[in-house]
Structure formats: structure tokens, C-alpha cells
Amino acid sequence: MAELAAGDDNDVLLEMEAHAEELGFPIIGRLCGRLLEVMARSVGARRIFELGSGFGYSAYWWARATGRTGEIHLTDTDPGNEAKALDYLRRAGLDQPVTYHVADALEALSATPGEFDIVYCDVDKEGYPGAWEAGRSRVRVGGLYICDNMLWSGRVIDPGGEASSEAIDATNRAIASDEAWRSTIVPTRDGVVVALRIE
């Protein structure tokens, strides 16, 4: 299925993907990237906050959606990832709307005022319940909360006491049962929750 996104090839994207493969770094990949871009475009997103950003692969797709009038906030505690992300995005011509917070993701969200069109979560899995609680109130009505790895290779079906699986399962249930939201799990790659705030 990856060939469906082959038209997105460019030198910077290929370099980012090669870097991830070299490091064994878990990026979202082309099809999931396309999903993020389409979701952002569908709600006219101009202000996005990402919880957990690595070296900026998913930010590449957000920035394609928001354009130069957007405002994208990235988070990671590693200043090396900040340098890589800003370099990649600059060379792709997508750096202007990006602010990178070298900080704990939830602390950075708390310190950044205002509502967002999208809050995206890809932090350590045991932090997913806390990320949902922090992020849900920061999304405008009509905006999206999006979270990666929500199928967790099927392990959420029977978490069996494993901490990451339990955290993801609890987050899935919390999002699905929240009456202010309508949500679905898109089974692309490892499962992506897309939740729309309706009130």
C-alpha cells in the first residue's frame, strides 16, 4: 500500500525516512502521514500542538496542510531532535510555522495558551491517559484529537496487565465514552484514533 504515497517523494522526505530506518526510530510512515495531512486540511487547521515529535517527520505532514499561515508546536526533551527537525523542515520549505519546545510535552502544552485545531499525541504509551486529559480541553469545538498506536499490534484486545497496553486501552475507552467527542480508530499502520470535538 505504501506505493499509494509514492508521489510524495522528495529528497528531504527520503532522507528523513532513511535516517529513521538507520536509527530504528518509529516514524508514522507515508500513509499515516497522508492521513494526518488530510485530517488537518479537512478541519482547516491552522494551529496544531504535537505531543511527542522526534525529529519532525509527522510535522512535515502537518506543515504541508497548514501552509505558511499556520502555527505548529512540536515537543521533545532531546535538543538534538529539535536541531534535526528544524533543519529538515527548513530544507523542505516547511519551517516557517514551526515552534519546537525542548521540554516535557504536557508541560509545554500547559505553558502554551489558547485553543488548537488539532492536538496530536505520540508520547510514551504509559502517558496516553494523561495526554488525553490534558489535550481534550485544549481542542476547539470542531477540532480534532488524534493519537497514534491505538491498536498496539492488537495487544489492546487483551492487555494482560502490560503497562503500555493497559494505558492505550484505557485511553481508547475514555475517548470513546466521552459525550463531547465522536471518534473512530483508523486501522492505518498501528491504528490512529481520530476524535472530533462536538461540544
**What pLDDT is stored for residue 156 in this prediction?**
81
* Mean pLDDT, rounded, for 77-96: 96
- Crossing angle for the helix pair 11-23 and 79-91, to the nearest 10 degrees: 150
**What pLDDT is stored for residue 9 in this prediction?**
83
Domain ranges of the chain: 29-197
**What pLDDT is stored for residue 12 in this prediction?**
96
pLDDT band at 6 (very low <50, low <70, confident <90, very high): low
Inform me whether the pLDDT recorded for 184 exceeds 70. yes
Inform me whether the pLDDT recorded for 2 exceeds 60. no
**What pLDDT is stored for residue 3 in this prediction?**
58
Cβ atoms of 116 and 138 within 8 Å: the answer is: yes
Cell 463531547 belongs to residue: 180
Q: What is the pLDDT of residues 69-81, one digit of tens each?
A: 899 999 999 999 9
Q: What is the mean pLDDT of the chain?
A: 95
The pTM assigned to this predicted structure is 0.95
pLDDT band at 107 (very low <50, low <70, confident <90, very high): very high
DSSP string, 72-91: EEEEES-HHHHHHHHHHHHH
Cβ atoms of 77 and 104 within 8 Å: the answer is: yes
pLDDT band at 147 (very low <50, low <70, confident <90, very high): very high
Inform me whether the pLDDT recorded for 166 exceeds 80. yes
* Mean pLDDT, rounded, for 60-73: 95
Alpha carbon distance 189, 163 (integer Å): 21
Inform me whether the pLDDT recorded for 8 exceeds 80. no
**What pLDDT is stored for residue 158 in this prediction?**
81
* Mean pLDDT, rounded, for 20-40: 96
- Crossing angle for the helix pair 11-23 and 57-66, to the nearest 10 degrees: 150
Alpha carbon distance 33, 56 (integer Å): 11
If one looks up domain 29-197 in CATH, what number appears?
A: 3.40.50.150
pLDDT band at 161 (very low <50, low <70, confident <90, very high): confident
